[in-house]
């Protein structure tokens, strides 16, 4: 529903001027920008030095710098594995996805809206449009900047010849400096962009300028800071100029008349720290573990570099002393009181004793120091446990990382039962379903603004909704479900549903194969029945002969029909025929086979009878 109380342009100017003059920021600005920086650091792995702390009693500044240089962050790999299940939402076909006319004779308007949806967002590939935007940019922003805004804008156009072509304008949380939200709907939004321009006086000099925009329910007011002798002054002789804190700004007003602020925020998971005024990333609950992963990963990398290499000790002849065999650039040996291994290239040499009593064997004069593998295994186990805890925190489940068989888990670890895996998948679905709701909401809001800006708001309706089950089960899970369904004598329609999910997984990259499966399923005589049930039916006198023949010759019949279609026409048997036509052709084949079988039956021999 659109707002009935419109904000006047002069009121918006007062708010904009006050924000610029007093450098106002909304009350949660520090919180949302700090979270965006933190999420980006975990997801990209850049800037982890901000999370690593020097342990003063044991580590001086140089040692800390060495640790930073040796640390290879793995948070981006962990975050990537956490983000991938959410990708399933955008790749799942909505159960309802429709743009339709509000009344008769609105086909042209529906086509116009669909065209704007298709061209809402561009790309370098063939994929474009609103769905592509939601699947890519919106998906990414949801994780690393959930408090970013999406503003629906359009370029200037001749209203006598054409209509607006809306497009997205991404506003990071750092640029959305001030706003007002009432009843979950924005009343106004102010963004600040820091731009660089070439000085009109000196082409080699770059000047930093500010550009502010306030979006209201009826217009967008832009205040652009002017440089000294700015060409914008001469280009806009009748323009509106204001001075704020000794800075001059050019004011431009664009009237969109949407009736509501053409913007919405990306996030959906509310931040409890701000009492729900802002949003956090879907990964937020795992950030404490991600922080620990950085620390434990740093310790593991340091231990690996400093301790896990071959350490060789050999005995020298008397009088040579103790030394390290690593040569300096000038060819000499370093003078050390206590030789220490620093790499696999080093060898510690120990002087031979003078007497037998002084002799301590070093495994026949050469000794390799055992590697401290127990420590490394312990550190590696800590890292692995933290990754599991990240999945548990985000999904309330470890189904994405948990071992599912005794051999995989090692030792006597019990295998997960089908029920346990189903419960785990339900937890995953419960986690990603709010994201699906947000995608549906974002799609609907964009389509609404497209309809508003193309004057079709009263002529076109729209709806989109995703399913609750995103079918993320593996083949093994579905095989286990089918086995349980057969053992439990569950109804045939339950088995059919499992078979359909399995088919979609098998033919995920072969759409024609999936069509072939679905068509054949329509004509298969014993859908959902187990092999035992089928054999009982085949031997039953209550089953028609035609049904038995169709079952026994099912593959042959379809192979012949496919071949005949490909030889006689360019039509496809599965795509270009109706269900009634296919049944007619199949019945004809069944009758042919029955006739052939009757011809091949041995004729009864009759013997003459005597008088």
Quick one: which H or E segment has residue 178?
strand 176-182
pLDDT digits (tens, 9 = 90+) for 570-581: 677 888 888 888
- Beta-carbon contacts of residue 65 (< 8 Å; ≥ 6 apart): none
Asked if 169 contacts 153 with a C-beta cutoff of 8 angstroms, the reply is yes
Strands (E), 319-477: 323-324, 347-351, 366-369, 460-465
Considering only the C-alpha atoms of the chain, give the largest distance between any 2 of them, rounded to a whole number of Å.
136
Other C-beta atoms lying within 10 Å of the C-beta of residue 500? 16
pLDDT at 405: 37
pLDDT at 230: 85
DSSP secondary-structure letter at 463?
A: E
pLDDT at 62: 67
pLDDT-wise least confident of 276-285, 345-354, 397-406, 410-419 = 410-419
pLDDT at 329: 55
pLDDT at 70: 63
What gap in Å lies between CA 22 and CA 8, rounded to an integer?
A: 22
Quick one: which H or E segment has residue 402?
none
Quick one: which H or E segment has residue 215?
strand 206-215
C-alpha separations of 159 from 301, 348, 450, 519 in Å:
63, 84, 15, 49
The residue assigned the tokens 């790309």 is 123
pLDDT at 418: 44
pLDDT at 300: 67
The residue assigned the tokens 């593996």 is 474
Mean pLDDT calculated for residue range 410-414? 44
Q: Which pair of structure tokens corresponds to residue 585?
A: 């052709």
pLDDT at 408: 41
Percent of the chain scored above 70 by pLDDT? 75
* Confidence band for 209, pLDDT divided at 50, 70 and 90: very high
C-alpha separations of 566 from 346, 518, 550, 573 in Å:
73, 20, 22, 8
pLDDT at 168: 95
Quick one: which H or E segment has residue 450?
helix 418-453
pLDDT-wise least confident of 218-222, 421-425, 480-484 = 421-425
Is the pLDDT confidence value at 456 over 70? yes
pLDDT at 607: 65
Is the pLDDT confidence value at 553 over 60? yes
pLDDT digits (tens, 9 = 90+) for 155-186: 888 888 889 999 999 999 999 999 999 988 99
* Confidence band for 17, pLDDT divided at 50, 70 and 90: very high
What gap in Å lies between CA 90 and CA 595, rounded to an integer?
A: 52
- Taking alpha carbons only, the member of 176, 183, 167 closest to residue 27 is 176
Mean pLDDT calculated for residue range 180-196? 94
Is the pLDDT confidence value at 442 over 70? yes
What gap in Å lies between CA 353 and CA 266, rounded to an integer?
A: 75
Q: Which pair of structure tokens corresponds to residue 22?
A: 């007093």
Is the pLDDT confidence value at 363 over 80? no
The residue assigned the tokens 């001749």 is 158
The mean predicted confidence, pLDDT, of the chain is: 81
pLDDT digits (tens, 9 = 90+) for 122-151: 876 667 899 999 999 999 999 999 999 999
C-alpha separations of 320 from 32, 360, 429, 491 in Å:
65, 17, 70, 87
What gap in Å lies between CA 306 and CA 497, rounded to an integer?
A: 56
DSSP secondary-structure letter at 603?
A: P
Asked if 147 contacts 278 with a C-beta cutoff of 8 angstroms, the reply is yes
What gap in Å lies between CA 528 and CA 506, rounded to an integer?
A: 18
What are residue 264's DSSP bridge partners? 150
Is the pLDDT confidence value at 46 over 80? yes
Task: Give the HSE-up count for residue 149: Cα atoms under 13 Å, Cβ half-sphere.
Answer: 25
3-state secondary structure 35-61: HHHHHHHHHHCCCHHHCCCCCCCCCCH
Scanning 191-276, the segments in alpha helix (DSSP H) are 231-235
First to last CA, the chain: 102
pLDDT at 332: 61
pLDDT digits (tens, 9 = 90+) for 304-355: 666 665 665 555 555 555 555 555 556 565 555 455 555 555 666 666 677 7
- Taking alpha carbons only, the member of 130, 205, 168, 177 closest to residue 30 is 177
Mean pLDDT calculated for residue range 16-37? 95
What are residue 168's DSSP bridge partners? 152
């Amino acid at each position: 529903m659109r707002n009935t109380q419109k904000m006047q342009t002069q009121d918006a100017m007062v708010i904009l001027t006050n924000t610029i003059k007093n450098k106002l920021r909304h009350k949660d600005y520090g919180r949302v920008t700090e979270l965006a920086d933190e999420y980006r650091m975990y997801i990209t792995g850049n800037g982890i030095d901000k999370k690593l702390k020097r342990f003063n009693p044991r580590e001086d500044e140089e040692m800390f710098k060495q640790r930073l240089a040796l640390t290879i962050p793995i948070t981006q790999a962990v975050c990537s594995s956490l983000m991938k299940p959410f990708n399933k939402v955008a790749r799942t076909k909505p159960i309802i996805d429709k743009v339709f006319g509000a009344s008769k004779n609105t086909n042209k308007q529906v086509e116009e809206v669909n065209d704007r949806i298709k061209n809402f967002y561009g790309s370098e590939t063939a994929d474009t449009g609103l769905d592509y935007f939601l699947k890519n940019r919106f998906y990414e922003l949801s994780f690393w900047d959930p408090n970013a805004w999406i503003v629906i804008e359009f370029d200037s156009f001749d209203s006598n010849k054409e209509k607006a072509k809306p497009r997205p304008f991404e506003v990071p949380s750092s640029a959305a400096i001030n706003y007002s939200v009432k009843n979950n709907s924005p009343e106004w939004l102010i963004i600040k962009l820091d731009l660089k321009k070439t000085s009109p006086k000196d082409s080699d000099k770059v000047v930093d300028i500010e550009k502010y925009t306030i979006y209201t329910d009826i217009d967008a007011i832009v205040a652009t800071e002017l440089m000294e002798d700015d060409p914008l002054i001469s280009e806009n002789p009748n323009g509106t100029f204001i001075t704020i804190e000794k800075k001059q700004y050019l004011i431009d007003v664009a009237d969109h008349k949407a009736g509501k602020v053409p913007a919405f925020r990306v996030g959906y998971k509310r931040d409890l720290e701000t009492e729900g005024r802002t949003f956090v990333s879907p990964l937020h609950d795992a950030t404490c573990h991600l922080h620990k992963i950085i620390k434990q990963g740093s310790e593991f990398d340091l231990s690996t570099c400093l301790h896990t290499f071959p350490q060789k000790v050999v005995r020298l002849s008397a009088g040579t002393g103790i030394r390290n065999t690593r040569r300096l650039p000038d060819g000499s040996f370093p003078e050390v009181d206590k030789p220490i291994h620093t790499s696999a290239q080093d060898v510690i040499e120990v002087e031979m004793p003078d007497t037998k009593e002084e002799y301590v064997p070093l495994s026949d004069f050469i000794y390799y120091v055992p590697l401290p593998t127990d420590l490394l295994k312990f550190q590696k186990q800590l890292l692995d446990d933290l990754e599991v805890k990240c999945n548990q925190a985000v999904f309330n489940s470890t189904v994405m990382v948990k071992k599912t068989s005794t051999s995989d888990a090692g030792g006597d670890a019990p295998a997960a039962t089908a029920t346990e895996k189903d419960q785990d998948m339900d937890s995953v679905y419960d986690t990603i379903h709010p994201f699906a709701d947000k995608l549906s909401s974002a799609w609907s809001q964009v389509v609404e603004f497209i309809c508003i800006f193309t004057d079709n708001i009263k002529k076109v309706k729209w709806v989109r909704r995703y399913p609750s089950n995103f079918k993320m089960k593996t083949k093994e899970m579905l095989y286990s479900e089918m086995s349980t369904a057969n053992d439990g004598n569950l109804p045939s329609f339950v088995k059919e549903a499992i078979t359909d999910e399995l088919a979609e997984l098998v033919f995920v990259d072969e759409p024609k194969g999936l069509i072939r499966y679905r068509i054949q399923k329509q004509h298969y005589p014993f859908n959902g029945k187990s092999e035992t049930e089928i054999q009982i039916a085949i031997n039953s006198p209550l089953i028609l002969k035609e049904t038995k023949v169709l079952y026994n010759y099912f593959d042959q019949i379809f192979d012949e029909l496919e071949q005949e279609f490909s030889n006689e026409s360019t039509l496809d048997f599965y795509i270009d025929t109706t269900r009634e036509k296919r049944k007619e052709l199949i019945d004809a084949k069944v009758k042919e086979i029955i006739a052939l079988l009757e011809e091949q039956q041995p004729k009864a021999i009759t013997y003459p009878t005597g008088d």
